[in-house]
Amino acid sequence: MKPEEIAALSDDDKSWSLEELEATMLPGHASTKAGRDVIFSWLARYQEAKASGQNAINGTVGSLLEDSGELAVNPVVSTTLREQADLEMSAYAPLPGLPHFRTMVQELAMGDGLSVIQHHGIHTDAIITPGGTGALYMSARNLLKPGDAILLRELHWGPYNTIAKECGITTATWPLHGEESQVDEEALTSMLSQLMKDQDNVLSWLNDPAHNPTGMSLTSESRARVLEIFAEAATLNPDKGVTLFIDGAYAAYSKEHHGWGDTLSEFAKECIWPGNMLVCFGFSASKSHTLYGQRCGALVMLHPNGAFVDKLVEVMLHTGRGTWSGAARLPQATLHSIHSDVDKYVGWLRERDRLQQMLNKRRKLFNARCEKEGVPLLPSHDGYFAFLPHDTPEPVAQAAASRGLYVVPLKGGIRIGLCSIPTYNAERAAGILADAWRMSA
């Protein structure tokens, strides 16, 4: 067919509707996808208000901002990154990650508990991933079958659902907390039992400490009880695979940076670790090292059988190779340079602590004003966020925005980004939220 003949036949193409194009060009599973995010839409509203001259407060984003409104960047990290040799900037990294990074990241995740865990016969390894999200994706692709359900808390980071959908799995939930304790033990036990009846493998993502979107952190007692419940479920169902994945993305800004390392070390000392139970830890350098855009994370795996851990590395490598090929070398080299140099490490730690203290001050001011105003926030202890439960959050967010506070309405309530609210505006933000909440009552 000649070009002019093709052109004549395609004249009508310009009149195709979006619906017709979607039906023709996209398979069914792709046409239902959407990429727009409610968080970024509310950030855009804040930016418009600020540009128009409004004395607006930004409580929308999930990045830590200085009181000036600028992105908080640890200068030791940015300086060390720029000091790296050309090789570290340009060369591929080994697919599992740089060997020294893989060793170091286990220590960053588990702290002093790592050596105790290993001493008591638990084998560990880590594989580099593009951010903490890469670790989540790897686990979902390989530890469940398509069509299985992953176990989440009722309130959770929205992209968990996106990752699950991309991996062809569904979701099941257990309550954020019990009526009289941090853990609804009956509900968690029941959900694990039900999932084991329906599928061969169970995988649960537990975002702790400094949970997104509430800022809640489990106590040592609660962590131990959760671990015991998973171990009991595995022991009672020896033909089922059980994985507890601890998403520690915000651990650097919690009171117990290595709380799960401590809990797992006690568990390794005192308990028989079921052979059909795997524990994973998702590490992210985004918050701890202010390297959001460098996409540096890791999947840390713990199990009593070393050969099985080696097999897991191979399995996860396959997924990484077929999805993102390899992860960036530069941030791995940067983190190793910092944590192998005493002066750099002390400098990084000093700045990390300053940022944590800034967050703590904002939270203290915000929580105190909310308590004074009777605003029923969910427990908020650490990290970036606070959360106000509400059945119809959109009108509350609209009312807050009309008074100059921009927050994010989510299913079940409103997420407040304390990470982005200047310290001097924390109390004012709580007052605005209180007024908006009362209007909706």
What does the pLDDT read at residue 26?
85
Question: pLDDT tens, 269-316?
Answer: 987 899 999 999 999 999 999 999 999 999 999 999 999 999 999 999
Same domain assignment for residues 400 and 254? no
Residues 139 and 271 occupy one common structural domain? yes
As a whole number of angstroms, the distance between CA 356 and CA 7 comes to 62
Same domain, 116 and 69: no
Q: Which domain holds residue 200?
A: 93-330
**Residue 55 DSSP label:** -
With beta carbons less than 8 A apart as the criterion, state whether 282 and 132 touch. yes
102 and 287 Cβ atoms separated by less than 8 Å: no
| 277 and 367 belong to one structural domain | no
Burial class of residue 232, CB neighbours in 10 A (0-12, 13-18, 19+): middle
Return phi, psi of residue 164, to 5°.
Answer: -60, -45
Shared domain for 353 and 412, answered yes or no, is yes
Q: Each residue of 351-392: pLDDT tens digit?
A: 999 999 999 999 999 999 999 999 999 999 999 999 999 999
Q: Does 240 score more than 60 pLDDT? A: yes
For the cut 70, the answer to whether the pLDDT of residue 11 exceeds it is no
CATH of the domain at 156: 3.40.640.10
**Average pLDDT value over all residues in the chain:** 94
From CA 103, how far away is CA 235, in angstroms rounded?
Answer: 30
Shared-domain flag, residues 309 and 370 = no
270 three-class SS: helix
Q: What is the 3-state secondary structure (H, E, C) of 194-246?
A: HHHHHCCEEEEEEECCCCCCCCCCCCHHHHHHHHHHHHHHHHHCCCCEEEEEE
pLDDT at 10 over 80: no
Q: pLDDT above 90 covers what percent of the chain?
A: 88
